A and B are shown apart, each in its own frame.
Chain A
Amino acid sequence: MNTALKISEYACPDVVVSTDWLSQNLNNPKIRIIESNEDQLLYSSGHIPGAIEIDWAKDLNDQFSRDYIQSDAFSSLLSRLGVSNDSTVILYGDKNNWWACYTFWVFKLFGHEDVRILDGGRLKWVSEGREITKEKPKLSETKYVAKIRDDKTYRAFRDEVLLVSKNRGQLVDVRSPEEFSGERLHMEGYPNEGALRGGHVPNAKSMPWARAVDTKTGCFLPASELKALYVEGLELDPKKPTIAYCRIGERSSHTWFVLHYLLGFEDVKNYDGSWTEWGNSVGYPIER
């Protein structure tokens, strides 16, 4: 399917851009391009012209509390990176935009209005032979003013998850099937982010996050295929509140993005405490 047509069929087509669109807008002064990767060497090895980097661990996480930075730190970060409150921010990265979606979610916690994801991320841009550069852009510091971090609209906490679980509300577990079943306590290759108990939050439904992506191209699936997975397959109602979780809240930010922006689910939250909190919590119920 043509990329522009595919994007036009999403519930919020304004939050996804194609590589063609970005190529034509590289010199648009209103745009700030930001790369967020898992592999820390990738950005410096070459990036989209004009792109700056946000490192999920170094820049977005509070180093002394299991939490995200507060709005003053977010304001300082974006001011330093030359982002204005009215900038159109284009996010992209490795791993099917996994980390780009995580950064997107954090931008929304601070109320940045115009944030978009580059469909296909770094993989598609590079595989199409488009220009990359090692030259870092010259940044003019701005005076970005972030809103107070909104922990209510898009972020779920443990006791809310417990209530939704008891009331048989909509919970989506985006980890691997082995993690969901409790066969494995952590994602393959991620042993240090494990938990004391394996399994899932009672009444959660399983849909591994990467099912929403064509892994050959890194692009989001068309809306009709996403609908088949989540609405018809999992029987989720787009009008009912939904919470996604994974191990530490990053994979589920990808599913959060897909459900809310691509499929138009009205009320979706990301439970960033996720399994490393739930599976280690005393007295919280587990289903296998």
Chain B
Amino acid sequence: MKLENFLSDLSMFTDRDERMEFLIDIASRFKEVPSEIAERPFKKENKVPACESDAYVWLKDNKLYFAVENPQGISAKALAVILDENFSGTDDIKNIPESLVDTVFGSTISMGKGEGLRGMVRLAKNLG
């Protein structure tokens, strides 16, 4: 239900620039995984394969946590916030739709960027 509301909000942004601003604003809410959950060096099992933003995902007590090591990994941070805000505390983590990445970032996202972000979704689902 949360996700439906979010996607409904997102769909209101038909202008590319406004949509980007909306996603950048989301990324600004990104909070890195707290030290009580994980500390550097992070474990390989939490690393998202093929993500050039060096993203990591954890799940504890049904809450998702993320780290994005590339300071320019702004899309990865936006997706982390979207996943946390819409799926943490729900029973749907293992059912996160992989199509979410294309729905949020659009079909013109590059193959590399898209695959890295889809990798974040896949890892979150596998942990769920």
**A contact set with B: CB distance below 8 Å:** 38-42, 44-45, 55, 57-58, 94-95, 122-123, 126, 187-193
Contact = CB atoms under 8 A, between A and B. Distances in A.
Interface in B50-64: 50-52
B3 interface: no
B21 A44 contact: yes
Interface stretch (B38-46, B85-93, B102-110): B102-110
Interface of B: 17, 20-21, 23-24, 27, 49-52, 71-75, 78, 105-106, 108-113, 115-116, 119
Contact of A94 (B24, B72, B116): B72
16 contacts: A39-B74, A39-B75, A40-B20, A41-B74, A44-B17, A44-B21, A44-B24, A55-B108, A123-B72, A187-B112, A188-B50, A189-B49, A189-B50, A189-B51, A190-B112, A191-B111
Contacts of A40: 20, 75, 105-106, 108-109, 113
Given A41-B23, A41-B27, A41-B78, A189 B112 contact: yes
B100 to A, nearest CB: 16
Nearest to A58: B108
Contacts of A126: 71-72
Which of A38, A41, A55, A189 is most buried by chain B, counting CB atoms within 10 A of its CB?
A41
A55 B110 CA distance: 11
